[in-house]
Structure 1
């Protein structure tokens, strides 16, 4: 599902692409706070994240919840898209990761799966994940992919659902992560399920969210793959097109862990996060992170304290 933004200019695209490609071997620095955070020497749990702010924030929440239980944590954030980090989890290089259950199933575990609901998706994951890893409890919180347009575009072309794009998409450009073009929950599914095929595809990188929004609002791309918890949707009055055929499945925030490294104390800490985290919480934290420019570790600690997970 994730890693969706890359800048429009060729130079920016190239620079960001090189950064993303090399990020799998990055240090344990926290890209959201600019600090290196390791809870101490000795054996520690490696908590990873993908290369977009929300996932990094969720990883920080996981890390602080684990540390509150006295566990040692090493942060390895900003790794890249699922195509980069998934094998690292399966092999144990990363041991705790905030995943999105529907995208995990459809893009890494079973690309032929037609499961759309939370319970159905999790049942398939439990059967089909490699034996070295498992999912823990899913949160109520979801952040789904979407195809989003400006209010002006929606009004002009009478767009309400993804199916309404069929008559106009051939002349349009959609902005999304490079992986969106090959995923069923993306370009492939739009054509297969809705008969929608865009004329052009503009790849974007996870670090260029503001660039994506500028491209959309300046009509350089006419549609964009934006996550539904993005505060710009409300702030800029964007229109998320309805998905009546469930192209985009449930995307509950769900811990994916390397079994042999995660003990009962760690599982309890991560499940406690899932038990409390709501979509409204995620939207509120993303507003603080993106719009208000607050530090991720501060936001994480504030939410964990409010949720009664840490004191």
Structure 2
């Protein structure tokens, strides 16, 4: 995702504690009392960002690892990539569900123009710090979008991001706070499409439902929604097309601290990527958002249905 996250106060506190424990290969991990190597029955620290979908993916990873007899410590709701990425690099976190395009453009190489899954992953494998690596990417994507109501689209004849150029100055866009300064966000909208919104309304990354409400109430006229948000279909919202690929591929991809995962752990995570689709994500998010199901139950149900747990 992906994605435009805002570091909450909780996330900052968690990040500070993780910074204290992050170390080089072979250092003891104060989070678990074990070394980073999971091969001897040590605990793998699975982290997540501060929005529901990423927490769900982290829970899927955690349960799959546990099913293989591996010990897991959960450290969820940490915050934005600006907060958690260094903790993975330093070893405070062992496994993290990432979105490959956003990882590349916001943390690894902000000048990268890679847009396809293949090109993005090739650059990540070349440019990531030596302490970490990406595993196999899933077909599942959750991309950033600029989304408007059907009424706004009809009023201004909006179909693509380029169509916003003459009218955006009179609009407010709502998004996670980082969206304003990211290339795959406000900076890119201006440089790629010449689009500048009159006002920017920042919200926490986990506030997608709030963004949808603000959009429907016309308190914001555009919103940075994730494309697996069930409200897009249910409320007949319009995701503006992105013909110039401002928002790159955002495949769900495990980011791991190399010495924290053994071959068994990698195989379990790659097996998830081989099965996970965008439709799976959408259906699971419906269960979380609409049916108010617990993320652990949703994760368990999907893993069982996919034949990945016993």
Same fold (TM over 0.5): yes
Q: CA deviation at 1:308?
A: 0.6
Q: Any conservation in 2 of the 1:4–1:204 contact (CA below 8 Å)?
A: no
- The equivalent of 1:129 in structure 2 is 128
Q: CA deviation at 1:302?
A: 0.5
Q: Name the structure 2 match of 1:251.
A: 250
1:270 alignment counterpart: 269
Residue matched to 1:72? 71
Q: CA deviation at 1:43?
A: 2.6
Aligned to 2:159, the other structure's residue is in SS state coil
Aligned residue among 3, 13, 18 for 1:22:
13
CA contact (8 A) 1:39 1:67 kept: no
Structure 2 distance, partners of 1:80, 1:254, is: 18
Secondary structure of the equivalent of 2:226? coil
Runs of 4+ in structure 1 off by over 2 angstroms are: 1-6, 16-27, 38-43, 206-210
Q: How far apart are residue 210 of structure 1 and its match?
A: 2.3
Deviations 1:227-270 (A, max 9, x none): 00000000111000000000000000000000011100000000
Instruction: Please state whether the residue corresponding to 2:165 is helix, strand or coil.
Output: helix
Counterpart contact for 2:5–2:81, Cα < 8 Å: no
Partner of 1:94: 93
The answer on whether the counterparts of 1:3 and 1:52 sit within 8 Å (CA) in structure 2 is no
TM-score by length of 2: 0.90
Contact 1:47 1:77 in 2 (8 A): yes
Cross-structure match for 1:168: 167
Residue 156 (str. 1) matches residue 155 (str. 2): yes
Give me the whole-angstrom Cα distance separating, in 1, the residues matched to 2:288 and 2:222: 24
Distance 1:40 1:284 in 2: 37
Aligned 1:76-225 pairs, distance under 5 A: 76-225=75-224
Change (3 A) 1:77 1:201: same
User: Aligned equivalents of 2:234 and 2:77: distance in 1?
Assistant: 26
Asked whether the 8 Å contact 2:5–2:79 carries over to 1, the reply is: no
- 8 Å CA contact 1:5–1:208 kept in 2: the answer is no
Q: Which runs of 5+ in 1 are unaligned?
A: 7-15, 28-37
Runs of 5+ consecutive residues of structure 2 not aligned to the other structure: 19-30, 35-40
Residue pair 1:40, 1:73 contacting (<8 A) in 2 also = no
Q: Deviations over 1:158-184 (max 9, x none)?
A: 000000000100111100111111110
CA drift at 1:25: 5.4
Deviations 1:184-210 (A, max 9, x none): 000000000000000111101023222
Whether the 8 Å CA contact 1:40–1:72 is kept in 2: the answer is: no
Query: Between Structure 1 and Structure 2, how many residues are aligned?
Result: 292
- SS of match in other structure, 2:45: strand
1:2–1:101 CA distance, 2 compared to 1 (3 A): closer
**Corresponding residue number in structure 1 for 2:38:** none
Q: TM-score with structure 1 length normalisation?
A: 0.90
TM superposition shift of 1:211: 1.7
Contact 1:3–1:50 (CA<8 Å) still a contact in 2?
A: no
